[in-house]
Homo-oligomer: A and B are copies of this chain.
Amino acid sequence: MLNATLPTDTRHCAVSALRCIAAEAGDPLAKLFENDGATAHFRANDEIFAEEEAADAVYRVTEGVARICKFTEDGRRQIGEFHFSGDVFGLEYGSHRSVCAEAVTDCRVSIVGRAQLLAKARRDGELANALWRSSCDALHRMHEQLFLLGRANAADRVLAFFHMTAERLNSRGVVEIPMSRQDIADHLGLNIETVSRTITQLRGEGAIRLEGARRVCLDTHDRLYA
């Protein structure tokens, strides 16, 4: 669904709509992006920004999914996080990118200048607060992620990933997973074969059901996943 060509009008999917309501209710970050942001489109797997390049812009996902990653010279990849509709990403304290960003699905993002954002934040306490909140949320998710990578086995990682994705997409029950097995593997610190095998195993245990490779039915309140 998100992989399909984007609609040409400005309607949003259910999740985006929820975020927009929040924005109308006064989220200054959302407002800033909607008023001053330039819109850009990226096709699936396009690079949004690269590691080491100047970090002079900040992004907000309008539609689709983006990933933040780091590479080694031998091609290994770690996906630090995925960003969904309404998420702000690409704001760094340093002047150059320490990570790169890519489109997971076709997606649409809103872009504002970093200097502009920071200058506004310095004058506007509410905006700075929202900025800080966004980092805080990310930090919170990172702690969960660290826990997964450090202490959980493959089954727990995959199951937790499905549940977290369901939550972030506001779709409890049945989730349309927007990312490939390779993306999941690189996010969970596993390899693609292990992810696939683990999904098969979870299916055998009845923890999940599949409707095609990308559509997962979750057995809610099943087992701990954090």
Interface positions of A (Cβ within 8 A of B): 68, 70, 72, 76-78, 80, 91-94, 98-99, 118, 121-126, 128-129, 131-133, 135-140, 142-143, 145-147, 149-151, 186-189
Take A78-B150, A128-B125, A135-B132 as given contacts and tell me if A99 and B142 are in contact as well, using a CB distance cutoff of 8 Å: no
**Residue with the greatest number of chain B CB neighbours at <10 A, chosen from A77, A92, A140, A147:** A147
A142 touches B140 (CB 8 A): no
Contact partner, A125, options B70, B91, B93, B122, Cβ 8 Å: B122
Q: How far is the CB of A75 from chain B (nearest CB, A)?
A: 11
> What residues of B have a CB within 8 angstroms of the CB of A78 in the complex?
146-147, 150-151
**B151 contacts A76, C-beta separation under 8 Å:** yes
| Distance between A126 CB and nearest chain B CB, rounded to angstroms | 7
Instruction: Give the chain B neighbours of A72 by CB distance below 8 A.
Output: 151
**Is the pair A139, B137 in contact by a Cβ cutoff of 8 Å?**
no
In whole angstroms, what is the CA distance A92 to B143 when docked? 12
A129-B128, A135-B135 known; A146 vs B93 contact (CB < 8 Å): no
- Residues of B within 8 Å of A143, CB to CB, are 68, 70, 80, 98-99, 142
A198 to B140, CA, bound (A): 30
> A131 to chain B: which residues have CB within 8 Å?
128, 132
Q: A123-B125, A128-B121 are in contact. Are A139 and B146 (CB under 8 A)?
A: no
Closest 8 CB pairs of A and B: A150-B189, A128-B128, A135-B135, A149-B149, A93-B136, A122-B125, A142-B142, A78-B147
**C-alpha gap A39/B122 in the complex (Å):** 29
Q: How far is the CA of A143 from the CA of B68 in the complex (A)?
A: 9
A155 to chain B, nearest CB (A): 15
Question: How far apart are the CA atoms of A94 and B77 in the complex, in Å?
Answer: 31
